[in-house]
Amino acid sequence: METAIPKQYTRGQLIFQYGDKADRFFVILNGWAKLYRDMSDGHQVVLHTFTAGESFAEAAILGQETFPASAEAVEDSTLLVFSGAKFKEKLMGNAQLSMQMLASMSAHMRHLVNQMEQLNGRPTAQRLASFLVGLCANINDNANDNANDNHPINIYLPYDKTLVAARLGMQPETLSRAFGKLKKLGVKSKGSGVMINSPLELAKFCEEIE
């Protein structure tokens, strides 16, 4: 939309904070951002991580007056900032757009539901495996790759392991050990690079019952 303005954020910079007036929303041009919530005990729950092409906080400008979570850039990033008021106007005049918006929110909710499933009792190694498989899928999508192939693949963690751990609802130490457990499944982790021998086998492992 023509009214948006691009804005630069540096690593660690706050984009908005829980409770702020929700009068804008965002699309990521490049970089990564996290949506999170600080809990009373000092911990942080990472609700979602976003990257280039994805939008977030669209939901907040409707209904609520304030953001229900905080957001922060986890890398140097460029975001498009949209005015909520102007967007609302457009929505009122365009039923088609409203429907698309509803569909996108519905997808977002499905995502949240999936996330809830993950955070629950499932063992840490499996949670990590799911996460890695997700990253593989992204890469394959981008490369327009055949969905059926099963090359060894090299992926890079989009942000440091502390954040990966938070995203998966575990401690950094536990993440380390989860990587350890995945070694026997052909997952090698070196720095921010992860080498996966058989994405398919890993995907199978995610579904395993104990």
User: Which spans of this chain sit near DNA (rule: CB under 7 A)?
Assistant: 121-125, 160-162, 169-177, 179-180, 189-192
d(CA 103, CA 97): 10
- Decide whether 72 or 82 has the Cβ nearer to DNA: 72
- Decide whether 33 or 125 has the Cβ nearer to DNA: 125
Strands 70-73 and 153-156: unpaired
Angle at 104 between CA 100 and CA 108, to 5 degrees: 170
What is the Cα 74 distance to its own chain's centre?
Answer: 11
Question: Of 30, 22, 108, which Cα lies nearest the Cα of 70?
Answer: 22
In the set 27, 28, 33, 47, which binds a copy of itself (CB under 8 A)?
A: 47
Which tokens is 48 given?
A: 């979602």
| Binding partner at 175 among DNA, a copy of itself, none, C-beta below 5 to 8 Å by kind | DNA
Q: What are phi and psi of 69, to 5 degrees?
A: -155, 175
| Strands (E) located in 86-178 | 153-156
CB of 23 to a copy of itself, least distance (A): 14
Find tokens 């303005």 and name the residue.
Answer: 5
CB of 159 to a copy of itself, least distance (A): 20
Site string for a copy of itself, 148-177 (x = CB under 8 A): ---------------------x--------
Which tokens is 148 given?
A: 């059926």
- Decide whether 153 or 168 has the Cβ nearer to a copy of itself: 168
Q: What are phi and psi of 97, to 5 degrees?
A: -60, -40
Asked if 105 touches a copy of itself (CB under 8 A), the answer is yes
Q: CB under 8 A: which stretch of 9-17, 77-85, 99-107, 176-184 binds a copy of itself?
A: 99-107
* Cross-strand partners of 102: none
Q: CB under 8 A: which stretch of 1-9, 75-83, 95-103, 184-192 binds a copy of itself?
A: 95-103
Given the rule CB under 8 A, which residues bind a copy of itself? Answer: 37, 39-43, 45, 47, 59-60, 62-64, 68-69, 88, 91-96, 98-99, 101-110, 112-113, 115-117, 119-122, 169, 207-210
